[in-house]
Amino acid sequence: MASKHLLDTKTVSVYEILGNGKIYKVPLFQRDYSWGQDQLEDLWNDLLNAYSSETPHYMGAVVLKANSNKEFEIIDGQQRFATISILILAIINAIRNLAINGIETTDNEEREKLLMNQFIEQKEPSSLRNSSKLFLNENNNNFYQTRLLKFKGPINEIKLSHSESLLWEAYKFYQNKISENFQDYSGDKLSSFLTTAVGELMMFIQITVEDEMNAYTVFETLNSRGVDLTSTDLLKNYLFSKVAGSETDLNNVKELWKKIITIIGLKDFPTFLRYYLLATRKQLTKEYLFKEIKNYIKNADEVFELLENLEKYAYNYVALGNADDDTWKNDKEITSAITILKTLRVTQWKPLAMVATEKFKPNSPEFKKLLKAIIAISYRYNVIAKMQTNEMEKVYSNAAINLHNSQTRSIKNAINDLKDLYVNDDDFKKYFELKQFDTNNSNDKKMARYTLYKLESQISDGNLYDYETDKGTIEHILPESYGENWEEFFSKEEYERNVYMIGNLTLLEANKNNKDAANKPFEDKKAVYQTSKYHITNTIDDINWTIAHIKNRQEKLAKIATGIWKIQF
């Protein structure tokens, strides 16, 4: 390139992209063509609206990597490039058919040549042969070049691959749309529609980068229209390129990759890969993930080693997010722990748990001890103290790497590595005594249920109700609806400060909550509470209910909570 720019951005029309003598190539291993009828229809409607209103329509951003002044890789945007080219071919074919049928034959043949040269192909000076301006990936390019660009249908539609079938369906779709919307069309009218609506009014934000590292950075902030490339595809392209010299290696890597994506899912792969690296190598942010892979994966052997390890850890990663996974073999202690961790909405622990699942049997006492410690830390650190999560990832990553690299390290060692995240008893009590759960918020409500049921189990000396399935409801002793029964004890401001305090929350059977307790005075409520099966409720025996009583109850619950969510280092 004449000048060096890490990132160059400009707004361009389809004509400026395809009519500039440049060649665009989709990387060999990029995702196959995937647009369906809904996306095709959206593009057509956008096109008609732009044409009728004579206003530009923006198609989003495309990311290109400059290989030279003349050749670019389509890092992001291949679905739109391919679809627009197919649309253009369908319009040119309509003009071509006019010439074949003897309608303004000379003029329409000339239009066909001019439009093909403007948008689809160009003549090579050396060979004087026409060459395509667009090259698709390894699975789609042959069908695009030998059938669509030659205005030939497939030899056998049934034998087409899924993505080839989608390309062919897109071509037929736009042929039908042209027939429906241009019944009395002429070559002049079709040419005008193509050059104006498609060529001039369809606009892109063109982002040109020098290398994949810059492209990966763009992906972290860019949302493009359609089914476009993701950072996962970019990582895949790099790994595949390292084994492309051997067809056998490439096929084996493709199978490994397919297995991993099937297990994890395309969308979650970058998170999973980062967690794997956090667990086994070093702490790094999402933005440096691609750079890290390029730094240490240099050859085919390293690609295979990485993918084989990823496949092994993929099962652990998925299991840690699913209490019903077969890995746990219906072990209620573990399934309950996984469910609780999902409720806590904390994920930084997963790298350590992924390694521990490999080092110890998934249903072993050691692994259960680790999950219990993680729950206690998460509840203290994240739920009650609401401390910053930045430090968590670092501590969990260090603990995971220590466990991964050691042959003799125990679960006790791993838990000791987490000490910096453990909120001490005195601080935990202080935070707990100030804690509120806004039960109008779904996550807060779930956390309140979890907290109250754990307290109930401790107070009752072992009643193990399932906080997710038990029919108990959250009862607000000072009711959520502020009424005259309570104005004597709480001003409006005092009510708002106290109604969601943990000390004001308890458990109550649904029929008693709705019918018997509701918004009644405390004396009436207390009579209902004494009939409840929940010890946390039937032991409420205060004479009345004031701010002081809420505070006193919350302090008592804080002491109990300190014993529940506790680790003995």
Q: What pLDDT is recorded for position 125?
A: 63
DSSP 44-112: HHHHHHHHHHT--EEEEEEEEEESSSSEEEEEE-HHHHHHHHHHHHHHHHHHHHHHHTTSSHHHHHHHH
Q: What is the SS3 assignment for 391?
A: helix
Q: What pLDDT is recorded for position 6?
A: 54
Q: Report the helix count and the strand count for the chain, using DSSP H and E.
A: 25, 10
> Does the pLDDT at position 216 exceed 80?
no
Q: What pLDDT is recorded for position 229?
A: 45
Amino acid at 306: L
Q: What pLDDT is recorded for position 223?
A: 40
Provide the pLDDT confidence category of residue 82 given band limits of 50, 70 and 90.
very high
Q: Are 7 and 208 in contact (CB under 8 A)?
A: yes
The predicted model gives 351-369 an average pLDDT of 93
Q: What pLDDT is recorded for position 227?
A: 37
Q: What pLDDT is recorded for position 231?
A: 66
Determine which of 91-95, 289-293, 459-463, 505-509 has the lowest per-residue pLDDT on average. 289-293
What gap in Å lies between CA 133 and CA 129, rounded to an integer?
13
Q: Dig out the tokens for 66 from the structure.
A: 């400059």
Provide the pLDDT confidence category of residue 224 given band limits of 50, 70 and 90.
very low
Q: What pLDDT is recorded for position 413?
A: 94
Q: Dig out the tokens for 429 from the structure.
A: 């009590």
Phi-psi region of 350 (alpha: psi -120 to 50; beta: other; left: phi over 0): alpha
Q: Dig out the tokens for 421 from the structure.
A: 């995240």
Q: What pLDDT is recorded for position 402?
A: 95
Amino acid at 179: S
518 vs 401: which has the higher pLDDT: 401
What gap in Å lies between CA 350 and CA 352, rounded to an integer?
5
The predicted model gives 483-506 an average pLDDT of 91
What gap in Å lies between CA 211 and CA 23, rounded to an integer?
17
> Does the pLDDT at position 128 exceed 60?
no
Q: Are 213 and 294 in contact (CB under 8 A)?
A: yes
Q: Are 11 and 54 in contact (CB under 8 A)?
A: no
Q: For the whole prediction, is pTM greater than 0.75?
A: no
What gap in Å lies between CA 126 and CA 124, rounded to an integer?
6
Residue pLDDT, tens place only, 163-194 = 999 999 999 999 999 999 887 789 999 999 99
Q: What pLDDT is recorded for position 404?
A: 94
Q: Are 495 and 482 in contact (CB under 8 A)?
A: yes
Q: What pLDDT is recorded for position 212?
A: 63
For residue 209, what is the DSSP state?
E
Q: What pLDDT is recorded for position 214?
A: 62
Q: What pLDDT is recorded for position 226?
A: 37
Name the E strands within 94-248: 121-123, 130-132, 134-135, 202-209
Q: What is the SS3 assignment for 3?
A: coil
The predicted model gives 2-7 an average pLDDT of 49
Provide the pLDDT confidence category of residue 129 given band limits of 50, 70 and 90.
confident
Residue pLDDT, tens place only, 372-397 = 999 999 999 999 999 988 889 999 99
Q: What pLDDT is recorded for position 242?
A: 85
Determine which of 44-48, 214-218, 364-368 has the lowest per-residue pLDDT on average. 214-218
Q: Are 390 and 520 in contact (CB under 8 A)?
A: no
What gap in Å lies between CA 195 and CA 138, rounded to an integer?
30
**pLDDT mean across residues, the chain:** 89
Q: What pLDDT is recorded for position 228?
A: 39
Provide the pLDDT confidence category of residue 462 given band limits of 50, 70 and 90.
confident
For residue 188, what is the DSSP state?
H
> Does the pLDDT at position 1 exceed 60?
no
Residue pLDDT, tens place only, 253-283 = 989 999 999 999 888 888 899 999 999 998 8
Edge-to-edge strand order for the sheet containing 57-66?
A: 7-13, 202-209, 57-66, 71-76, 23-25, 134-135
In this structure, is the dihedral angle defined by the CA atoms of residues 352, 356, 358 and 364, taken in order, positive or negative?
negative
Residue pLDDT, tens place only, 321-347 = 999 999 998 899 999 999 999 999 999
Provide the pLDDT confidence category of residue 414 given band limits of 50, 70 and 90.
very high
% the chain with pLDDT above 90? 65
Q: Are 378 and 344 in contact (CB under 8 A)?
A: yes
> Residue 501, exposed/middle/buried by CB under 10 A (0-12, 13-18, 19+)?
buried
The predicted model gives 65-84 an average pLDDT of 89
> Does the pLDDT at position 218 exceed 50?
yes
The residues near 326 (Cβ < 8 Å, ≥ 6 apart) are none
246 vs 419: which has the higher pLDDT: 419
